[in-house]
Chain A
């Protein structure tokens, strides 16, 4: 088993009456992309800020590279790259100068720094914009600059807090590919987002948090196995009677079926040929149907089943 890079144990953080983190436990191993998924206000950023010692906490412990992190843990911080949720760059400095500034907070050697800055610019694809000032950049390019500022010094641990908020699809793909490349080069990544597709796409292990508590943790597949639904089938049906709906609910492997606004939604749990069996029933009973599609469960379904609400609520 890989060495843990970050270990969070029983972390409790209160903002006056609000409990932002409620006995949170996380373990992020070396070399993995760890996703922290949760709706807005679930405590993701608070957890990240505690890991970075930007926030003090009421209870628990946070260890990074095996040591308790403190505001003055500068030796530990040398190996951490940070891309915060809000873009933190100097409006008065160019793209190159901004990356050079933040890289210079970690790397003193001028020549090495110049090389690192060039590599970071290449990495995020800002070669054509090195002399641009941030206000001349689009939202996507600005996010890329923010990432370059966080990763230029080649840290072992990179924490990205919602790096793709308000980013166009092209930049988003570029950012996600970049994160996977960084991981391939050996960096451990902590990635927070409320976009489940992104987390599913790049993260090896995922923790879902809500109201400051971890409600599930595992790989993408492990999380989906936690819920009953294996398959969700949608069929446009006209004139389905209550009796027919009750018959469908009795079919094998069907554990839930809803019929609203001419749409039949069936949740299946395991089994094979569920769709064929359902369509066969409709044909036998001369129920006319139109469009048919099936989908595998998503992390949203996991969240929905555990919390009773949508991830984006």
Chain B
């Protein structure tokens, strides 16, 4: 009981700094949750280019071409001087400059297609290539109808009709993305918060109890080593339980329609195992660290490394094959995959093996880190 009381007094003393860290990490995570939710909606809009045109042709085709370009892009007159033109291109105020020569309509109708128009653009720019493809697409289609024997009016009408058709753009997993609840992202960021805050909150207190002199003094007492350790473990468990419940409570307030469902329940289970892993990391860290500022460094490095490698900050879909292989060695990868799998569950009977696999692998990691920490502790005691 004395150990528990001292533990709580020490953590109370460190509470202000813990709250600051906690607020920062929760803030970052909620902000990233929102950002991820938006970016994952996968909307598609066509890019609008800024095009300047010098049209010296009086013919009909040049007017039709300009009308076509004006539908999707901002078409303006040419700047007055060459310097102004170059400045506009350099500053990306213009994406594309099109020169239509005096006899463009005449030459095109005569069958001359290549090299009639001139253009200027930023070399190798995607906007320049896009504008090129738009102009060439128009001319190729128009030329195709003319060559096929259609009249000029018919060819223009058909070309306009053809080019007005637009393709619906969607991603193969778009349906899934649309259904993914933003709470999934909230839960996805929890391991990052857990690793950082548990190391920073529990670590310094454990460090106090593992201090060489305090430890020696405790060993002289009438309270057994096992009882003291049980109290330390129990106190640490209470602290992480409070943190876990608080974050679940916040999640419940923000996303009640997800958290208070089977998905939320399974997500909470997954998150609880994850916070146990974070505690085992904290336990291992204090065995190796001698000072509190080392804990801060370790929490940042571990938190960020596991978050990036495990697919918390970056979707696993974008990982290369080799990175994915490395990622599978992190417990956060298994958390994220389980969390994803949980988001598809609607009934308890649908809980797939993937989910249990993810949860169990995290638990194995937690036990392994704990055992490793205990081994180091024993080695240090022998020294």
Q: Do A and B come from one complex?
A: yes
> Which residues of B are found within 8 Å of A71, using beta-carbon distances?
219, 225
| Residue A4 at the chain B interface, CB threshold 8 Å | no
Docked Cα-Cα span, A106 to B217, in Å, equals 12
Residue pair A93, B9 in contact (C-beta under 8 Å): yes
Q: Do B14 and A104 touch across chains, with their CB atoms under 8 A apart? A: no
B214 at the interface (CB under 8 A from A): yes
Contact with B along A57-96 (1 / 0, CB 8 A): 0000000000000011011011010101011111111000
Q: Mask for B192-214, Cβ within 8 A of A = 1, else 0?
A: 00000000000000001001111
B10 touches A105 (CB 8 A): no
Interface residues on A, range: 20 to 34
Given A90-B214, A92-B14, A101-B5, also A54-B222 (CB < 8 A): no
Chain B's interface size range is 20 to 34
Interface residue from A53, A91, A97, A106 paired with B222 (Cβ < 8 Å):
A106
Asked if residues B221 and A105 are in contact (CB atoms below 8 Å), the reply is yes
Residues of A within 8 A of B220 (CB): 52, 54, 77, 80, 82, 84
- In Å, the complex CA distance between A105 and B220 comes to 10
B216–A88 contact, CB under 8 A? yes
User: What does DSSP make chain B's interface, helix, strand, loop or mixed?
Assistant: helix
Interface flag for B118 (CB, 8 Å): no
**In this assembly, does B1 line the interface, its C-beta being within 8 Å of a C-beta of chain A?**
yes
Q: How far is the CA of A311 from the CA of B272 in the complex (A)?
A: 61
CA distance A74 to B213 in the complex (A): 19
Quick check: B214 and A77 within 8 Å, CB to CB? no
Q: Within the complex, which residue of A72, A88, A104 is in contact with B214, where a contact is CB–CB below 8 Å?
A: A88
On whether the beta carbons of A90 and B6 are closer than 8 Å, the reply is yes
Contact B216 A106 (CB under 8 A): no
Tell whether A281 is near chain B: CB-to-CB under 8 Å.
Answer: no
Residue among A53, A91, A102 making CB contact with B217, cutoff 8 Å: A102
Does B10 lie within 8 Å of A93, measured CB to CB? Answer: yes
**Nearest-CB residue, chain A, relative to B220:** A82
A84 to B216 alpha-carbon distance, docked (Å): 9
- B221/A106 in contact, CB under 8 A: yes
Task: With CB as the reference atom, state the residue of chain B lying closest to A93.
Answer: B9
Q: Mark A126-160, 1 if CB is under 8 A from B, else 0.
A: 00000000000000000000000100000000000
A90–B9 Cα distance when bound, in Å, is: 10
* Bound: A91/B204 CA distance, A: 12
**Does B13 count as interface, using CB distance less than 8 angstroms?**
yes
The reply to whether A104 and B1 contact each other, CB–CB distance below 8 Å, is yes
For the complex, give the distance between the alpha carbons of A105 and B228 in Å: 10
Complex alpha-carbon distance, A115 and B273, angstroms:
44
Give the Cβ gap from B143 to chain A, nearest Cβ, in Å.
Answer: 83
B218 to chain A: closest CB distance in Å? 7
The residues of B that contact A97 with a CB separation of less than 8 Å are 6, 9
- Enumerate chain A residues within 8 angstroms of B218, measured Cβ to Cβ: 105
Min CB distance B205 to A, Å, is: 9
B6, B212, B225 pick with most chain A CB within 10 angstroms: B6
Is B357 at the interface (CB under 8 A from chain A)? no
Cβ-defined contact, B208 with A92, below 8 A: yes
Contacts of A75 in B (CB 8 A): 222
B13 contacts which chain A residues (CB < 8 A)?
92
Note all chain B residues with C-beta closer than 8 A to A87. 213
Per-residue CB contact flags for chain B residues 1-24 toward chain A (1 = under 8 Å, else 0) read 110011001100110000000000
A20 to B127, CA, bound (A): 81
A interface footprint on B338-362 (CB within 8 Å = 1, 0 otherwise): 0000000000000000000000000
Nearest-neighbour CB distance to chain B for A251, whole angstroms, equals 55
B223 at the interface (CB under 8 A from A): yes
User: Quick one: which of B207-260 are within 8 Å of A by CB?
Assistant: 208, 211-214, 216-225
* Distance between B29 CB and nearest chain A CB, rounded to angstroms: 29
In the docked arrangement, what's the CA distance between A91 and B213, Å?
12
Chain B residue with minimal CB distance to A76?
A: B222
Give the residues in chain A near B212, CB-CB below 8 Å.
Answer: 86
The 7 closest A-B pairs by CB, nearest first: A105-B221, A104-B2, A88-B217, A88-B213, A78-B222, A82-B220, A92-B10
11 A-B pairs besides A52-B220, A82-B217 with CB distance below 8 A are A54-B216, A74-B224, A77-B222, A78-B222, A84-B216, A84-B220, A88-B211, A92-B14, A93-B9, A102-B217, A104-B5
Q: List 8 A-B contacts (CB under 8 A).
A: A52-B220, A54-B216, A84-B216, A88-B217, A90-B10, A90-B214, A102-B217, A104-B2
